[in-house]
Amino acid sequence: METRKISPEEAAQRLLAADNILILTHKNPDGDAIGSALAIDRGLRQKGKHCRVTWSGELASYFSLITEGYVTDSFEEPDFILAVDLANTRLLPEETQCYADRVDMVIDHHATSVEFAKETLLEAAASCCAEIIVKVLIRMECDITTEIANCVYVGLATDTGCFRYSNTTAENHLLAAKLVTLGVDIAKFNEQIFGQKSRARVEIERRVLAGMEFTAGGRICIITVTRAMLEETRCIESDIEGIATIPKAIEGVEAGITLREQENGNWKISLRTATLDAAEICSLFGGGGHRRAAGCECSGTPFEIKVALVAAINKRLGE
């Protein structure tokens, strides 16, 4: 579908003309997905709109900071379908796939965004979708209540890793300053979002660290996540988020490898590098990705896979 690129101003006008608005976002929703959806929902309700945000899957416990007390409006058929933080309708959860061809507007910040909606508000330079939502809310002349500020903060803080990731901008800090003055209790929010690890996460980490292996004089670090470990610890998806970043985050590690056992018995490999071309290395095993973060899927025993990967990496480290 060919889409029309729109500005925050146009997005605001379009939303103000709608009545019953269904708000979609991607599956396994993160803080920016839910935060963006609930922020625009709450702004639209100020304007007398009926809104319904749908999401699926188990959410990490910190989401209760913004989802608690959320009640969807009841309407039969939406007259407007808005998607937020959604780069591709393939990423919709199963329950909302039926709307994939009917999305009226998408508000998103992913550079990988494909055209699927009638109108698209895309700001690929934004660190999070929530900061674009704020622009639309301001154009709709919404009151940025503490409740809305809370939703925006969750999106902003999670997508920037609490202002740590490389995508963090001066504008993000200015927005954060504004959100604090609007009443966000950032001490409480940060503690719940970043200060707490689930028991399952700690249990998987202790197993993963116990089995951590180093080679090439500490320049290669390998961790392994088996299905048995996931079952023992009862991890849900959000519990193992970012686990592949552990090896590379160790001083002196040039290549961090994560082996994760799949249901079909294969092993999903994630490779993070400091200077080597991760995509090139993974392409040797039928995979690909980015220069510093790539992946592939391998069959065989973990030992065989590790030997093959280490050989390929060692060769390049020696060059």
As measured in angstroms, the least distance from the Cβ of 66 to its own copies is 18
- Applying CB under 8 A, among 138, 212, 216, 293 the residue interacting with its own copies is 212
Residue for token pair 């973060």: 293
Q: Which two tokens stand for residue 125?
A: 């330079």
At residue 90, the 3 state secondary structure works out as: helix
Q: Which is nearer to its own copies, 256 or 289 (CB)?
A: 256
As measured in angstroms, the least distance from the Cβ of 218 to its own copies is 6
Of residues 68 through 87, those in contact with its own copies by CB under 8 A are none
Q: Which run of H or E residues covers position 206?
A: helix 199-210
CB 70 within 8 Å of CB 38 = yes
How many C-beta neighbours within 10 Å does residue 152 have?
30
**Residue 125 interacts with its own copies (CB under 8 A)?**
no
CB 270 within 8 Å of CB 278 = no
Of residues 10 through 29, those in contact with its own copies by CB under 8 A are none
How many C-beta neighbours within 10 Å does residue 77 have?
6
- Applying CB under 8 A, among 25, 127, 158, 168 the residue interacting with its own copies is 168
CB 113 within 8 Å of CB 122 = yes
**Residue 290 interacts with its own copies (CB under 8 A)?**
no
Q: Which is nearer to its own copies, 195 or 300 (CB)?
A: 195
CB 8 within 8 Å of CB 16 = no
Q: Which two tokens stand for residue 33?
A: 């997905």
- Applying CB under 8 A, among 162, 216, 236, 308 the residue interacting with its own copies is 162
Q: Which two tokens stand for residue 132?
A: 């674009």
- Applying CB under 8 A, among 165, 213, 262, 300 the residue interacting with its own copies is 165
- Applying CB under 8 A, among 4, 173, 234, 290 the residue interacting with its own copies is 173
Q: Which is nearer to its own copies, 196 or 262 (CB)?
A: 196
As measured in angstroms, the least distance from the Cβ of 146 to its own copies is 14
Of residues 222 through 261, those in contact with its own copies by CB under 8 A are 249-252
As measured in angstroms, the least distance from the Cβ of 5 to its own copies is 28
How many C-beta neighbours within 10 Å does residue 270 have?
24
Based on C-alpha coordinates, what's the Rg of the chain? 21
At residue 273, the 3 state secondary structure works out as: strand
How far apart, in whole angstroms, are the C-alpha atoms of residue 291 and residue 297?
Answer: 17
As measured in angstroms, the least distance from the Cβ of 179 to its own copies is 8
Type of residue numbered 177: A
**Residue 317 interacts with its own copies (CB under 8 A)?**
no
**Residue 199 interacts with its own copies (CB under 8 A)?**
yes
Contacts with its own copies by CB under 8 A lie at 61, 162-166, 168-171, 173-174, 176-178, 180-181, 186-187, 190-191, 194-199, 202, 205-206, 209-210, 212, 218, 249-252
